[in-house]
Structure 1
């Protein structure tokens, strides 16, 4: 029964907390002509770092107020994100974060393991001491949040860790593909903020760091794949019974 209730919560639209302004940040003043790109990048980052939840509506008027812009840049950003499959435009609900199905999440897990695993393996051959120090600094901050059980910014730092590692692969072609995968998977990672799952996966970061310092690409990739699989298994458990095909 508890599992069924948990699955129902995942399927239904959820009002995310904290406030919209805190999640996307109030738009800073930007040079003339760049407001559209600024809004797009902020919304993109918020989706990738799980600051929105599956089923959540994105209302143009509320976003415009949050960013301090006219509705036009908001509509353009939402249009781009719909085209990138990060959002969907429903006839009845407008633009919203897509709900996740078990089949789709399982597919994302397989593809992420392959693509992000490859980036991690390549990173071992190219990463610098400075980049390793950057990863360690991010991981130290994550460990502090987990120890204090502070969920705010946890997933944002997790994303920072991963993308700092992937950039070390020195592959400009891989990065947009990985961003696309995170745009689709990010909102479902909200499950990782919940007890008893909060903090699961940080040991794999330590595995990655150890392997990267040794230049062991295979071991680094294996640790990354275990992290992705473990997180996906937790999310899939919350989607029990919702294994329909994507439309």
Structure 2
């Protein structure tokens, strides 16, 4: 009987680091974290059943990508953003993601269209607060399936960096009042892609991003309540109907 070869500890650490990094990165793009949230090494290590070293490496990597911020007093946190920063990111998203969507209309395949349609149907089934986590994950998959169909690796990498910055603000979409608001735009995008109409697909995509951005900006600019007990990051995680009160 041949003994099973045990990988060296360095290899195991690298594997754990990649797993933690990938999960945190995906969580940021899905809106699983809120602006200003502190990421505690010990808690993350417990969640992933690993040691602190792979977690620290993953956090350092995300800080270098500007997805996280290493605060001198608070440690590693999800960056908070001003109205100006959010507006700037949205403007670039509309430009880059709009272009990718327009290009996709000329190169997308039938199986890809069917996969995107299925993701949109799954989103429709998650339009309650209980389904909000899945809703945002399916939303990211819906968009990135389109961007992959554009056949531009460089563009997709840029878009991923943008979503790392914008993702935490998508947390406001977890409210029952806001879930499902982009589905009409998704239907328009799908119809345009099926028709090979890149201009119309781009227009619907930009409208989808812009409407979501309006809610983010309202949450970011909402004044604190008179009691002062609700922080900006807490307001960002609320549905807009609550955050703006």
Q: TM-score, normalised by structure 1?
A: 0.83
Q: Which aligned pairs between 1:92-131 and structure 2 lie closer than 5 A?
A: 92-131=73-112
| Aligned with residue 217 of structure 1, among 184, 198, 203 | 198
**Cα deviation code 1:129-163 (max 9, x no counterpart):** 00000001101111111279732311010000000
Specify which structure has the higher proportion of helix. 2
* Counterpart check, 1:64 vs 2:45: yes
| 2: CA distance, partners of 1:148 / 1:79 | 33
Equivalent of 1:138, from 119, 123, 129? 119
- Counterparts of 1:32 and 1:189 in 2: how far apart (Å)? 32
* Residue 180 of structure 2 is aligned to residue 199 of structure 1: yes
Aligned to 2:71: 90
**C-alpha contact 2:102 2:198 (8 A) present in aligned 1:** yes
Moved over 3 A (4+): 30-33
Deviates more, 1:101-110 or 1:139-148: 139-148
Alignment of 1:5-44 (within 5 A): 33-44=14-25
Q: Which runs of 5+ in 1 are unaligned?
A: 1-29, 243-247
Matched pairs, number: 213
TM-score (norm: length of structure 2): 0.83
Give the SS at the match of 2:136.
Answer: helix
* 2:156 pairs with 1:175: yes
Query: 2:38·2:76 contact (CA, 8 Å) conserved in 1?
Result: yes
RMSD over aligned CA atoms reads: 1.6
Q: How many angstroms apart in 2 are the aligned matches of 1:148 and 1:69?
A: 31
**Pick from 5, 24, 27: which aligns with 1:46?**
27
